[in-house]
Amino acid sequence: VAINLIVEAGENIFTAPPYLARLAYPIYYADLIQSESDAQGLDPYLVTAMIRQESLFESFATSSAVAQGLAQVIPDTGAYIAQQVGDTGFENEDLFRPVVGVRYGAYYLSQQIDYFDGAIHAGLAAYNAGPGNAQYWYDSAGDDLDLFVETIGFDETELYVKRIYSGYTIYKHLYLGE
């Protein structure tokens, strides 16, 4: 609704009144996102943009690929992460709990970004399309963000990376003034 109002007013997210723009780009679960971002060495605005893209902050979201929760973690990946972080007794339904969804999403995103030596764009592509696909695209394009995005072989993943980068920029503008 806020986005529609901004557009109808002839504005964009960068020129709209900040209180209205923040309604379009809210930060829910800020305490969890901040804590888990700090724990994983991630920018909380990047994690926020990813969660917004993945679930629109709906903790009970489920995708057609059976990804679950705020960060849309697939149950098998959730079981892997639980093992890595020492969470015994993990059950798939745990992914719907915000504290688990944010923790596992931040952990997995950090793991993917680390795998690509800090290349956020490759880490995001790996989060969405798997590390094997991202590795292929990264090998073809390297650390050049624009070339990498053009190399992505899946339309969904290309849009995913673009939307999260856009959201990341918007969040930093709205909440940090950058």
Helix axes 98-115, 75-85, angle to 10 degrees: 80
Alpha-helical runs (H) found in the chain: 2-8, 18-24, 30-40, 44-55, 75-85, 98-115, 120-129, 131-141, 145-151, 155-176
For 63, the 3-state DSSP assignment is coil
**Which residue type occupies 165?**
Y
**Is 54 one of the annotated active-site residues of the chain?**
yes
- Buried/exposed 142-161: b ≥16 CB within 10 Å, e otherwise: eeeeeebbebbeeeebbebb
Which residue out of 8, 54, 58, 156 is catalytically annotated?
A: 54
Rounded Cα distance, 43 and 153, in Å: 27
- Active-site residue set: 54
